[in-house]
Chains A and B, each alone.
Chain A
């Protein structure tokens, strides 16, 4: 929590990695996905993680989300170091504190919209309180899903499916929402719509978003953009326009 005090006045840190490395395999075949990364995500902040393929951005996101463990270094979620937790403990932590939005929407096809949104509660084995129910109702209305609650995912368009996934990610009000290429399977107009909904909803309800993407337009919605290359952070910028992001990404690609 030292970090918070250093940045006195800034919102508290939701998630943080400190000099993490991650490698796969051993000997000559070792792949270094991350070579020492420091990153903190604050409450209510929308961070985009960008980088060319193989830059380690997906691995970094897996670590932040408690889906994988680092080879060395620390991963903090709130005030807990999660790097060394076992599978069950990580599962419980994800359940309580993290929401997910994936590229391929990833809804459970056998469940209808409302059941998909309620799934995190079901998995915890808790019933949402009256207040939480009201919140979810508002959320679904904001996302334009109120009249789709009984539909199965396959009866919805891609944009609608992604909005259901956003509702699911925000429903239990986790501290951190992790988004993996959330616009990857959407046309550009729907993609923009989904992003502003995600950003708006998170800002309104105080949730932090960590989004991995290689789409400059998507990244231009973020408050802060972290550029990775070869497993290291090469640049960190405040909000940028899509054109500048694209230019920077191009320079990263040709610079290698």
Chain B
């Protein structure tokens, strides 16, 4: 079993991170809730507790989703690396379905291990923080039982999604033919692409519907406060459409980003590589796209909202100051929570880049033989990483700005004295942090794959195997 689990390190890490995040949120809100109940002042109310739990469910869902996307990618890449051995077993008589079941079982194992590690890790972390907070007197003594059954939910969700992700990611097993064991098999560069006209159609419908709802929400917002609900639905629907149709959008965006990187041999090769496996690149950027979009949405919405309130209530600075502090705090907390999904997406990025390197060892050897220095190799991997991150960040910033603007206007445009539709508050510091985070991620994600790439000896291009 341990031999079969080799190569699953990133999968386990992602599952453990998602699970730990979810468990920690559930346990954390549980502790807070218990502390609030124990407090004589707020004891009677359960509203805060319910609100906290709803919010955490949303964030857990985001993290688990990001984790599942990354895991799907991880598995398809693992399968790609195993084509030879799968083909050999097929040649010796194993069926394609049996091979795929084996990969799916590994997925279940990865999910179970990661889920359990996260369950323990998340609970221990919260218990530690709560104890520290109690010792410092920040938090009252909370009669909270860490064996709460609801803490199992995020862990179970992670096990389930990891398993499903493994099943989806292992689709390629079915296309491995026994012939490929006989050698000389060319690496196929076209993946399961053209995946479903239906999917593209659904994506287009969802995006269209979402845009209509967004516009309707903003329009309604000019009359009534309930516009936000319509706009929110529009946002969710259209973004689901974008995620569903990501295989159409992201490769194109990657091409544009690739062109922006410049025209030297290094960057041109990098640009071509990033779109070589459109599905894989799409999956490795989508997690990041989700995170950046959400952070920007919250940032722009709260800033626009705040500025509009300020513009409307300009004569009452004290009132505004209160709102400003609250909005800043909410944005910061939300950004950190969503930022966690970005970390998970980052793991996926590293994984995708290093397996990309692994799969074209021969090509890297060729470039070295023809005169690519190790520095140019490192620059090439960096450019690939940068292209993926740039695409996710740029798309996310644009989408988030639109959503944030629509959200703020659908909520408060109806209030008297509010500025018109053109009004947009841009949270520059937050966006600056997002961009800086992107740059940091680009560099960090490329370190390990680049090291692996520079270890390729030029001689490796010469051999047949």
A interface vs B, CB < 8 Å?
58, 61-62, 65, 67-68, 87-88, 91-92, 94-96, 100, 102-104, 106, 108-111, 115, 119-120, 122-125, 154, 168, 180, 184-185
Contacts and interface: CB of A to CB of B under 8 A. Distances in A.
Contact of B269 (A61, A68, A95, A111): A111
Chain B: interface size category: 20 to 34
B275 to A, nearest CB: 8
A53 to B, nearest CB: 12
Contacts of A122: 264-265, 268
Given A106-B362, A108-B269, A109-B363, A119 B370 contact: yes
B373 interface: yes
Contacts of B370: 94-95, 100, 119-120, 123, 168
Interface string B272-283: 110010000000
Contacts of A87: 374
A106 B368 contact: no
A110 B375 CA distance: 21
B458 interface: yes
A67 B456 CA distance: 12
B73 to A, nearest CB: 20
Nearest to B375: A88
16 contacts: A61-B462, A62-B462, A91-B374, A92-B371, A103-B464, A110-B276, A111-B272, A120-B371, A122-B264, A122-B265, A122-B268, A123-B371, A125-B265, A154-B189, A184-B464, A185-B184
B395 to A, nearest CB: 23
A123 B362 CA distance: 17
B461 A123 contact: no
A14 B426 CA distance: 65
A232 to B, nearest CB: 22
B369 A100 contact: yes
B268 to A, nearest CB: 8
Interface in B50-104: none
B372 interface: yes
B373 A110 contact: no
A68 B459 contact: yes
Q: Which of A61, A65, A104, A184 has the most CB of B within 10 A?
A: A104
B464 A123 contact: no
A91 B189 contact: no
A30 B462 CA distance: 23
A96 B363 CA distance: 20
A180 B458 CA distance: 13
A92 B462 CA distance: 19
B200 interface: no
B273 A95 contact: no
A115 B462 CA distance: 21
A145 B264 CA distance: 25
Contacts of B177: none
Given A58-B462, A125-B264, A180-B462, A108 B369 contact: no
Interface string B239-281: 0000000000000000000000000110011001100100000
A67 B273 contact: no
B373 A91 contact: yes
B236 interface: no
A119 B374 contact: no
B142 to A, nearest CB: 58
B102 to A, nearest CB: 30
A110 B374 CA distance: 20
A42 B373 CA distance: 28
Contacts of B367: 108, 123
Contact of A110 (B264, B269, B366, B376): B269
Contacts of B316: none
Given A62-B462, A67-B458, A91 B371 contact: yes
A161 to B, nearest CB: 11
Contacts of A102: 366, 461-462
A65 B375 CA distance: 21
Interface in B406-465: 457-459, 461-462, 464
Contacts of B362: 104, 106
A177 to B, nearest CB: 12
A180 B369 CA distance: 13
Contacts of B368: 91
B371 A124 contact: yes
A110 B371 contact: no
Contacts of A61: 462
A99 to B, nearest CB: 9
A138 to B, nearest CB: 22
Contacts of A185: 184
Contacts of B372: 91, 123
A191 to B, nearest CB: 15
Contacts of B276: 109-110
A238 B462 CA distance: 27
Contacts of A124: 371
A115 B371 CA distance: 15
Contacts of A184: 464
- A-B pairs, top 4 by smallest CB distance, nearest first, are A95-B371, A122-B265, A110-B272, A123-B371
Given A88-B374, A104-B464, A119-B265, A109 B189 contact: yes
A120 B265 CA distance: 10
B373 A88 contact: yes
B330 to A, nearest CB: 45
Nearest to B271: A110
A184 B462 CA distance: 12
Nearest to A120: B370
A110 B265 contact: no
B353 to A, nearest CB: 16
Q: Which of B362, B369, B461 has the most CB of A within 10 A?
A: B369
Given A92-B371, A125-B264, A110 B273 contact: yes
A109 B464 CA distance: 16
A91 B369 CA distance: 7
A94 B371 contact: yes
A152 to B, nearest CB: 9
Given A62-B459, A100-B369, A168-B370, 18 more contacts: A58-B462, A67-B457, A67-B459, A67-B462, A91-B374, A92-B371, A94-B370, A94-B371, A100-B461, A102-B461, A102-B462, A104-B362, A109-B276, A111-B272, A122-B264, A122-B265, A123-B370, A123-B372
